Structure 1
Amino acid sequence: MVETGTGTLPAYTETLPRIPESARAARRLVHLALNVWGLNGLQDAAEVVISELLTNAVLHARRESVRVTVTRLSHERARVAVVDMSKKQPDLRPAGSEEESGRGLAIVDALSGGRWGVESLTWGKRVWAELGPREGEPGE
């Protein structure tokens, strides 16, 4: 459960080693949570988003672990997030056609409909993305 200013939201969370292989465990956590909540229509996009967020943390954060969280926001929306120990903010930038990396946040932005952000924490940051119907679209 995650405490908010308006109450408690259901959530799944797991601390994982800050290594590339943790992307699989992060995707599994997201898949499980969304399945339990009946949000199966979000699974594919959410698994890609959490993989991109975790990969950014693996490449750019410090310390040996990260925290992955999946929170149910409503009957049709969920938030995925990665917390790491780096205060360096991620940068959404266009990647050149010759670059082999640098497209992760553009993918997150596209799959979340621009509903993503960064929360600064005392000792690091939380990068999150919300998934669900876009504005004006009917729910599931």
Structure 2
Amino acid sequence: MSFLTRILPSFLVSWLLTFTLASLFHSQYVVNQLVNVGVVVGFSDRASLTLDDWLGLLPTYGAIIALALAIAFFVTAKLNKKVKKYSTQLFVIAGIVAFAIVLIAIESIMNIHIIAGARGWGFYAQLLAGAVGGFTFSQLFKATKNQKAY
């Protein structure tokens, strides 16, 4: 029952936030590249593109992120049993590593940047999304653990 009440809700919230940030960073990177070559992009176009990207990336990139975070958080939870003092830091690192592995693996296998927003500084923005996801999971999991104690 611990999985359904503590782990799964914490994971789903952190995954949704992580994917949303990764999609947002991707969209804004692409828009920024268009602006750099002289294309005028209004706020409504930015918002529309961002929403379209979120919906378009959800079934593929969203699923890849979910799988990568699930593996990273599982491994980190096992490691965390031995190193409890650094729980938050370990989950943040796990989120970063999950994104780095996914992005590098996709590029290596397909020999292209399948996520256009993961080029240049966009790569680091994607890693930031992973870090936020790891931090969020860590905090939510701790909160549900402390709630159970009362």
- Same fold by TM-score, threshold 0.5 exceeded? no
State the TM-score, normalized to the length of structure 1. 0.32
Question: More relative contact order in 1 or in 2 (CA 8 Å, sep 6+)?
Answer: 2
Larger strand share, 1 or 2: 1
More helix per residue:
2
The TM-score with structure 2 as length reference comes to 0.31
Structure of greater Rg: 2
